[in-house]
Structure formats: C-alpha cells, structure tokens
C-alpha cells in the first residue's frame, strides 16, 4: 500500500554526495514528504521533511520537484555511518482533529557506503 | 531527556501464547503508534493511540490489541501467536496526532515465535 517508490539499493563512495530518489506520483496537496533512515538493529530515525520548498538541515537536504511527484534526499558527504535503509513516506495532515496519520512505509532504499 | 523506550528488547514465545509489549513515549509526547517490521521489510502500521483511544488502525487482525494509559505509555497485546508474528515491533511517539514533524521511534522489541 505504499504510495512511494524507491530503488531497492544504491551504493556510494565515502565522502561523495549521494542522491536518493523517490517517486510519489499520486501525492495529494496535503501530503508532507518525510524521510527516515534505519541503521542496523535500530528503530527508524527522522531525517528531514518538506511540503513544497526545498529543505536543508544538519543531516541532509531535500529537493522537491515543482509538481511534487518526486523528491530527492541529498547526503552531501556520505560517511560509513550513513549506511542504512532510507524510507521516503507521505504523511497526510488535513488539519482537523479526527484527521488520521497512518504512516505507510515501503521497503525503502538500502544504501551501502564504500570506504 | 529519555527518548522512546520499549520493553522487553527480545523475547521468545510459542505458537498460541499471548504477548504484551510496552512502550514509554518521549517526554511531552501524547501520541503513540505501533509498527510491525518483518525481516527485510519496512515497518507496517498496526495502530495509533491518542487520548487513551485507538485513533487509527492498519490491516491487522483483532488478535492485535492495545492500550494507552493516562501517562501516555502504551501496551501492544498479541493473542494466539502465529509463526508469522515473529518480527521487530516498533513504537513511535509524537507530540500530538496532528503533528507534521518527526516521529520518534524506539529500538523495538524483537519477538520470536517458535
């Protein structure tokens, strides 16, 4: 039931930028785009999220296409610690109390970082 | 400030038994969601609790039930365990059910059903 599609796996060399793509062609106007990552033997951790504009934080950047049907998570300099499964998910918030927040995860992209 | 804590971290049960998993949300968070993660797959949404009520539910049978306490902590109960219930069970908390920001996840409870 995931509303996003991502490549199953990607590789990157250490200290090089990584661009992780995500397609969400059926995104609605109230869907926020979230990225989480899951390191081995840990729960997922939040990376970044956005609605329409590109976003930056200390961990990564999020580039959102103008039509919002795709987005790219950018890790500016991959480190060995960035090896994880990265999940792109949509969160629907319609701003009313009974609005649900049924977060749907897909299989994600497994990122390998080569020393 | 403690994050989301879950217990137990690992447990082994046999088919037909019942299990209770516990979650304490991050301080200040009143919404708790539970997920099941099978090996090699993404987390699957089980249900969400807010104000001690089940707010939303995923595609899981009634064998999966939960509870939220006045202090916002939560329990996940699974009855009549099946081999297929073996998974990592994750708890996530957020400040409120309308939050559009980050979910905070615990490290999970690894359940093995023999």
pLDDT tens string A23-71: 999 888 888 899 999 998 899 999 999 989 899 999 899 999 999 999 9
Indicate if the alpha-carbon torsion angle A24, A29, A35, A36 is positive or negative: negative
pLDDT confidence bin for B18, thresholds 50/70/90:
very high
pLDDT confidence bin for B78, thresholds 50/70/90:
very high
pLDDT of the residue at B56: 84
* Region for residue A31 given its phi and psi (left: phi exceeds 0; alpha: psi -120 to 50; beta: otherwise): beta
- CA-based nearest distance A115→chain B, Å: 24
Does the pLDDT value for residue A98 go beyond 50?
no
pLDDT confidence bin for B95, thresholds 50/70/90:
confident
Do A77 and A13 contact (CB within 8 A), yes or no? no
Residue contact A101–B56, C-beta within 8 A: yes
Does the pLDDT value for residue A99 go beyond 80?
no
pLDDT of the residue at B100: 60
pLDDT of the residue at B93: 92
Greatest Cα pair distance in chain A: 48
Residue contact B107–A43, C-beta within 8 A: yes
Best interface-test mutation with A: which of B43, B48, B87 has the largest number of A CBs within 10 A? B43
Does the pLDDT value for residue A94 go beyond 60?
no
Q: Report the SS3 class of residue B83.
A: helix
A81-91 pLDDT, tens digit each: 999 999 999 88
Residue contact A103–B33, C-beta within 8 A: yes
C-alpha separations of B44 from B57, B89, B104 in Å: 11, 9, 16
Q: From CA B80, how far away is CA A34, in angstroms rounded?
A: 35
- CA-based nearest distance A99→chain B, Å: 7
Question: Which chain A residue has its CA at the smallest distance from B105's CA?
Answer: A43
Residue contact A100–B56, C-beta within 8 A: yes
* Mean local confidence (pLDDT), B44-66: 93
DSSP state of B62: T
* Mean local confidence (pLDDT), B68-76: 97
C-alpha separations of B26 from A37, A54, A83, B71 in Å: 19, 28, 26, 11
């Amino acid at each position: 039931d995931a509303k996003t599609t991502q490549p199953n796996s990607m590789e990157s060399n250490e200290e090089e930028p990584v661009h992780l793509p995500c397609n969400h062609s059926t995104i609605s106007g109230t869907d926020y785009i979230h990225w989480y990552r899951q390191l081995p033997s840990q729960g997922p951790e939040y990376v970044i999220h956005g609605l329409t504009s590109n976003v930056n934080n200390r961990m990564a950047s999020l580039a959102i296409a103008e039509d919002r049907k795709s987005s790219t998570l950018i890790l500016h300099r991959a480190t060995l610690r960035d090896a994880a499964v990265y999940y792109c998910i949509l969160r629907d918030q319609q701003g009313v109390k009974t609005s649900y927040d049924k977060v749907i995860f897909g299989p994600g992209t497994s990122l390998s970082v080569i020393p | 400030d403690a994050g989301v804590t879950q217990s137990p971290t690992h447990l082994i049960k046999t088919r037909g038994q019942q299990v209770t998993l516990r979650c304490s949300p991050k301080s200040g968070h009143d919404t708790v969601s539970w997920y099941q993660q099978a090996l090699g797959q993404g987390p699957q949404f089980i249900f969400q609790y807010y104000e001690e009520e089940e707010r939303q539910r995923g595609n899981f049978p009634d064998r999966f039930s939960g509870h939220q306490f006045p202090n916002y902590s939560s329990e996940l109960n699974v009855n009549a365990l099946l081999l297929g219930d073996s998974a990592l069970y994750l708890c996530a908390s957020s400040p409120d059910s309308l939050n559009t920001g980050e979910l905070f996840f615990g490290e999970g409870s690894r359940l093995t059903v023999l």
